[in-house]
Every structure is written in C-alpha cells, then in structure tokens.
C-alpha cells in the first residue's frame, strides 16, 4: 500500500472490534450522563469523581470518529457514516464539521494551523494556550452551530473573511458549506441540542457535573491532538510525530501515537499502524508524556 493511497482496504478494517468499542464507550457516557444522577442522587462529589474517571474515554471516542472520517470504521459506507454521525453527536459536534476540519488538516497541515508566529507575542501565547487547553474542541462545537444556524449568504461572507487564501475558501465552499452537508449538520445539531438539554435537565441542581464532563472533554481532546504536531517543521515536510508510549495505552487510544505513520498511510485502519511502524522502522521522536509537556513551552517565534 502506497503512502499516497486514500481508500482503505475493506478487508483490513476491524469492524467488529470497532462496533464493540463504540457500544462500550457510548454506554459508559450514557450511563454517566443520564443514569448516574438517579443512582447517586445528591452526592455531587461522587458524581464529579466518576465523571473525571470517565473523561479519558473521550480519547478513544475521538479515535473512533477519526476512523469513520477516513472510512476505516466499517467497510459498509452507510454503517460507517451512521456510526461517525452518532459518535460525533455524543461527542457534541457535527460529523460534517469534524470530517472537514480533519481532512483539511491532512491536506494543508502546517499552514492550516501551527504554533509558529512572527507578530505579537501576547496574541500568539493567548492563541496557543486557548487552542491547546480546550479551544480546539470549542471551535469544533462553535463551528457546528455557526453553520447550522446562520443563513448561507452570511456563512459565505464569514468564510471569505476567515479564509483569505483562495484554496482554503474553495475547500470550505465545496465541502463544508455544500447544501447537503449543511442539512446534515443542522440535523446533527438538533440532536446534540436535544440530548444535552435532557442531560442538564436530568442533573438539575447538580449541573456542575455535566459542565465538568464537557470541560474535561475539551481539555483532553485539545491537548492530546496538539501534542502530535507541536514543534514539527513549519513547511509540513514532516507532518506529525511518532510518539512512544506503553502498549496498553497505545491500544487504548487506538494507536493514535503512531501519528506520523497515520499521516503517511491515511488508508490504514488503526489496527495496522503498529505493524506498519515496525515494518518501516520509523523512529519515535519522543515519549508521549514528553510531547504533552513540551507544548507548555508556548508558541515558537520565527526569525
């Protein structure tokens, strides 16, 4: 399989494993967000503790959505799309927005987003820490509702203002803001609004619990995502890092630490990344913990 292949080999997709993982992770979130208040009643601190213990599951949740984005969740396209949308609704953002953002990340990589700056140091630090400590997730949710709620002429004007580069603007118009995609995004946002309104109604006076759950999701998703790219060359010549971690945690995050291998072989499902990493003898850049800590050095000034 060439590094430029973009369509997955359906026979390699671990569909049954993905479905079991999706059900198990989904059940864990449903139990903590809907059933737990009835079990624990007014024991807010106990609910907060359980919520914090469940927060790490957001990482494999995103990994499964990521597989669906690359059509690696299930070989049947309809099942893959349904799973991607359902998991994304649980995640709190539209699958159409998550897919667009991630595929643009692959296509444009370091000119789509990076931590390098040459202007205001204060602005760069604010942007970097916002993005790293929850801003990525907040942007995904906000973009979902922006596309869902705003009329087409307004979203076009906003896109033109935000994306001065014609390549980026055309990508937005031809993918994210296509009429059929906008319709799906609106449907997704209706479901998200309904589900999370019910969640907050169920928790009632203990509303702080779902707030902590969402903040925990925002932080862990944003900080993990940023760690795979922080400090890589600005020209995109090396699109991501290969990060070393324990076999257990690597499997827990669906081999996301083999991120350079993923960027070089986007059609490979998560179950094949470790094998491809060994086959190509790709060296690890550093440990995952080191990469997570390195981001706190802040944005990088260019000459």
Structural domain total, the chain: 1
Q: So what's the pLDDT on residue 235?
A: 74
> Residue 220's pLDDT is what?
98
In terms of residue numbers, what domain contains 53? 12-301
| Domain annotation covers residue 1 | no
Is the residue at 174 inside a domain? Answer: yes
Note whether residue 4 is domain-resident: no
> Is 27 a domain residue?
yes
Residue 166 confidence (pLDDT): 76
The answer to whether residue 236 is domain-embedded is yes
Q: Are 37 and 240 in contact (CB under 8 A)?
A: no
Is there a domain that residue 288 lies in? yes
pLDDT for res 112: 62
Distance of CA 76 to the CA centre of its chain: 22
**Whole-angstrom Cα Rg for the chain:** 19
Residue 170 belongs to some domain of the structure: yes
pLDDT at 127: 93
Q: List the chain residues with pLDDT less than 50.
A: 1-5
Tell me if 244 sits within 8 A of 287, measured CB to CB. Answer: yes
**68 occurs within a structural domain:** yes
Record the pTM. 0.93
Give me the DSSP letters along 115-182. Answer: SEESS-HHHHHHHHHHIIIIIHHHHHHHHHHHHHHS-HHHHHHHHHHH--SHHHHHHIIIIIT-HHHH
**Phi first, then psi: what are they for 244, rounded to 5°?**
-90, 135
């Amino acid at each position: 399989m060439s590094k430029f292949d973009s369509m997955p080999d359906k026979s390699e997709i671990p569909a049954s494993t993905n479905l079991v993982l999706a059900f198990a992770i989904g059940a864990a979130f449903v139990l903590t967000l809907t059933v737990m208040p009835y079990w624990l009643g007014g024991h807010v601190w106990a609910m907060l503790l359980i919520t914090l213990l469940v927060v790490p599951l957001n990482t494999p949740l995103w990994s499964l959505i990521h597989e669906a984005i690359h059509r690696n969740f299930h070989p049947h396209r309809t099942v893959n799309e349904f799973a991607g949308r359902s998991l994304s609704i649980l995640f709190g953002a539209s699958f159409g927005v998550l897919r667009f953002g991630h595929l643009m990340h692959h296509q444009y990589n370091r000119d789509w987003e990076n931590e390098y700056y040459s202007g205001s140091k204060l602005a760069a630090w604010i942007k970097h820490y916002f993005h790293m400590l929850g801003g990525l997730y907040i942007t995904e949710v906000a973009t979902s509702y922006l596309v869902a709620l705003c009329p087409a002429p307004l979203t076009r004007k906003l896109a033109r203002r935000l994306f001065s580069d014609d390549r980026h603007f055309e990508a937005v118009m031809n993918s994210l803001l296509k009429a059929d995609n906008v319709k799906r995004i609106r449907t997704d946002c209706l479901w998200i609004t309904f589900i999370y309104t019910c969640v907050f109604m169920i928790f009632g006076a203990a509303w702080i619990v779902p707030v902590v759950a969402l903040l925990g999701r925002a932080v862990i998703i944003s900080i993990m995502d940023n760690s795979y790219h922080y400090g890589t060359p600005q020209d995109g010549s090396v699109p991501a890092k290969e990060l070393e971690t324990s076999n257990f945690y690597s499997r827990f995050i669906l081999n996301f630490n083999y991120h350079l291998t993923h960027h070089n072989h986007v059609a490979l499902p998560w179950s094949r990344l470790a094998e491809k990493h060994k086959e190509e003898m790709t060296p690890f850049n550093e440990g995952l913990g080191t990469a997570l800590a390195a981001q706190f050095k802040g944005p990088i000034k260019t000459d």
